[in-house]
Structure 1
Amino acid sequence: MAPPARPPIAVTGLGVVSPAGHTVEEFWRTVASGHSTAAALDDPALARHRVRLGCRVAALPPDGPVPAKDARRLDPFALYGTLAALAAHRDAGHPEPPPGRSAIVVGTAVGGRTTSDRESALYTEHGPLRVSPLMPLVTMPNAAAAQIAMRLGWSGPALTIATTCASGADAIGHGALLLASGRADVVVAGGCEATLTPVTLAAFGNLGAHSQRNDEPARASRPFDTERDGFVMGEGAGFLVLERLHDARARGARPYALLAGYGSSSDAYHLSNPRPDGAGAVAAMRAALADAGLTAADIAHVNAHGTSTVHNDRAEAAALRTVFGPHGVPVTSTKGAVGHLIGAAGAVELIAAVQAMNTRRVPPTANHEKTEEGLDLDVVHTAARPIRSGAALSNSFGFGGHNSTLVVTPL
């Protein structure tokens, strides 16, 4: 028996805090220009590090919706997430579902790493009495979901998902499932992360996954490029408001797109390396296409995971060839511009995919000059490219073999 048709899910609000800007307009303008936001990190603690670069969020305006006193008590990951979620809610026209009919789904890989590292340093230097009693509340991965719920006054489920670099995409996918099952009427979903700390950078540098192009940071993140040497870490948040289409139209909302498909899978292979043939990614993409009722031919462009690491780019290229055929679809990676936002990446990149779909213009992959031989991808680079009207597919893959794919379609 065929499963019952689910109601169309609309994207009615967008919010972003990123190295490319604190509004969707600023973010999209930077990404569409192909400009990289990577820079040297001015932190004396990094002097002996292999990695001394990243894509950092610029100073936030002092008069934002979170008072300065409250902001100081939040880890940056939760602050970024709260600001992006509130911006998305505002952009959607402040929808207010009945009590208990809301949901918040947040993706993050690690939670309050900035605070955790700072308090650990205080403990090492000064002893246990200097550790803040608020540390458990500030660093817990669900801190962002709790803050968003309190700011909105929403009493429905407030959930946190951790699938490393696929967390933001999985949060959005699960938000859509809550709407489709009738368990919520309005969902705020996305991801947030702030991991540009000395300890984290040291770990990824020692792992060999992070670019060490410290002398030319703006050229360091090079997805699918023959000269790539690792990803560049970023920070920030992206959130979307999701509603059933008929509910959105009933209240006069103007949706950006339909969230038509969601697929996820596990490589069940290795903690850090993907399956070389991209089989897990293929499964996620095909599941998302089937969920959307589409075929590969319906996809006008792909926002790739595109980390700029050797193994991940090769595995994703193999997966894209399997699903779309050689040179089958224009591909871009937002990470060339804003770096790898870890748990926030999938959400921020889906916002870029929605913008590209609606403007019919795929942003160039920043720093990409020559595609590695054998990848057989149509990587958009140098300048933005006009595309036909059609659906967009966004990939997010994470450590541990987590694969997540989202498909959006125009209205």
Structure 2
Amino acid sequence: MNKVVVTGLGWTTALGSQLQTVWERLVEGQTGIRDLPVEYPLKNTLAGFLPDSDIAEPKARLLDLTQRTAKAALDDARVAVSGQNPRQFLIAGTSLGYRLDSLAFHQDPLHEWVVTTAQQLGLQPLALSTACSSGSDALMLGAYLIRAGLADTCVCGGADILGRSKRLAHTALGTMSATRLRAFDQHHDGTLLGEGAGFLVLERQGQEARKPYAYLLGCGSANDAAGLTAPDEQGTGIRLALDRSLEEAGIHRNQIGLVNAHGSGTLTNDRVESAAYADYFSGYQPIVFATKGAFGHTLGATGALEAIALVKSLQTGVVPPIHGLETPIANLDFRLPVGTALQAQAQIGLSLTIGFGGFNTSLVFQRYS
């Protein structure tokens, strides 16, 4: 079977867009969440918005965000793109992207923005939308295409933008924090939204132009089938996704040294996710970290951004602190980067995303050596 390697990384976040600069800010414990006042009533006006984009119109904003982030990942991988190559793909996901806040665009086909961006980049387009697991599922699809011999290069990830409807919806759902995003903290009270994009270049091992960052060893997904927004209280879907990813990777759970958690900061998600880890990794104690306190909850982009953070952590041996975490909740009894970064020479780690609609996706990466 073809092995999948990660050869390029690109992200655009509330902390910036340069790969190394954003990573350094993460390690320093910085956050890009700041006040974004609006004229309509919200539970909280804090959000992780992009500091380097002055494009207000939502469709143009998403297209620009996707195109420049995917291009940064391609440049990082040193991939030569041929517009006529049927084995080079752009696989991109979002939640609802730009559609919610515009009468002009709300009936646009779900795939249109991906087709437009792929044409600009000279790649074949594939679009998907699985709520907050979209970016992770794009990576899973790319890995499967490469392993099956149907693709050589897949630029995979997600992009999403802030909008009035998304912020109002999370206010109405009660999932928005009244204070700040504090994943896995005893005083957590909700999430805060962000916007951004993340893309990873996956290639079939043996054709890469640069030394890879990591292997993508295994992927697993499952659906809770429990509700539109609330996860399964027993965490069954989470554990099933973890099982499937480790089985595909051919490893045991005690080989996982590092976990980039979903860590949304909501009472329900943090409780269910931490209980699932406590049960699943009982006695193995991987380091657990999370990045939403730095980026905000970027919805369809979050899985890709978290995959990049995990790959960088495996590559550098440094685990960024969980911004906002001061007093961990009781059942998350693992090594946690509280207040400062940790040194960790983990060889294998996983990134887990949990999405509305019951979507759970687990990705297992191994440091390249």
Same fold (TM over 0.5): yes
How does 1:175-324 map onto structure 2 within 5 Å?
Answer: 175-194=142-161, 196-213=162-179, 220-248=180-208, 252-324=209-281
2:368 paired with 1:402? no
2:44 matched residue in structure 1: 51
Separation (CA, whole Å) in 2 of partners of 1:73 and 1:335: 22
2:75 paired with 1:75? no
The one-letter amino acid of 1:39's match is: R
Provide Cα deviations, 1:128-164, integer angstroms capped at 9, x if missing partner: xxxx5xx368x5432332133111222x3x1111110
Q: 1:25 aligns with which of 17, 20, 30?
A: 20
Per-residue deviation at 1:99? Answer: 2.0
1:164 matched residue in structure 2: 131
2:86 paired with 1:100? yes
Per-residue deviation at 1:72? Answer: 6.6
Per-residue deviation at 1:22? Answer: 1.0
Aligned residues: 367
Q: Which moved more, 1:30-39 or 1:340-349?
A: 30-39
> Given that residues 43 and 176 in structure 2 are in contact (C-alpha distance below 8 angstroms), is that contact kept between their aligned partners in structure 1?
no
Separation (CA, whole Å) in 2 of partners of 1:374 and 1:299: 19
Separation (CA, whole Å) in 2 of partners of 1:15 and 1:23: 8
Separation (CA, whole Å) in 1 of partners of 2:177 and 2:58: 32
Separation (CA, whole Å) in 2 of partners of 1:377 and 1:140: 44
Per-residue deviation at 1:184? Answer: 1.1
Distance change in 2, residues 1:339/1:326 (3 Å): farther
Distance change in 2, residues 1:312/1:377 (3 Å): farther
Separation (CA, whole Å) in 1 of partners of 2:135 and 2:43: 28
Per-residue deviation at 1:253? Answer: 2.2
State TM-score, norm by structure 2: 0.94
Gaps of 5+ in 1: 1-5, 63-67, 121-131, 214-219
CA RMSD of superposed structures (Å): 1.9
- Structure with the higher fraction of residues in helix conformation: 1
Q: Which moved more, 1:92-101 or 1:309-318?
A: 92-101
Distance change in 2, residues 1:372/1:72 (3 Å): closer
2:6 matched residue in structure 1: 11
Who wins on radius of gyration, i.e. which is larger? 1
The one-letter amino acid of 2:42's match is: H
How does 1:314-353 map onto structure 2 within 5 Å?
Answer: 314-325=271-282, 328-353=285-310
1:360 matched residue in structure 2: 317
Residue identity over aligned pairs, in percent, reads 34
1:40 matched residue in structure 2: 35
The one-letter amino acid of 1:153's match is: G
Provide Cα deviations, 1:338-374, integer angstroms capped at 9, x if missing partner: 1111000000010000000011111110010001123
The one-letter amino acid of 2:134's match is: S
> Given that residues 277 and 332 in structure 2 are in contact (C-alpha distance below 8 angstroms), is that contact kept between their aligned partners in structure 1?
no
SS in 2 for 1:306: coil
> Given that residues 73 and 201 in structure 2 are in contact (C-alpha distance below 8 angstroms), is that contact kept between their aligned partners in structure 1?
yes
The one-letter amino acid of 1:303's match is: N
> Given that residues 331 and 378 in structure 1 are in contact (C-alpha distance below 8 angstroms), is that contact kept between their aligned partners in structure 2?
yes
Separation (CA, whole Å) in 1 of partners of 2:117 and 2:163: 24
2:118 paired with 1:149? yes
Provide Cα deviations, 1:187-224, integer angstroms capped at 9, x if missing partner: 11100000x222221111111001122xxxxxx11000
> Given that residues 296 and 324 in structure 1 are in contact (C-alpha distance below 8 angstroms), is that contact kept between their aligned partners in structure 2?
yes
Separation (CA, whole Å) in 2 of partners of 1:344 and 1:143: 17
The one-letter amino acid of 2:76's match is: D
Per-residue deviation at 1:327? Answer: 6.8
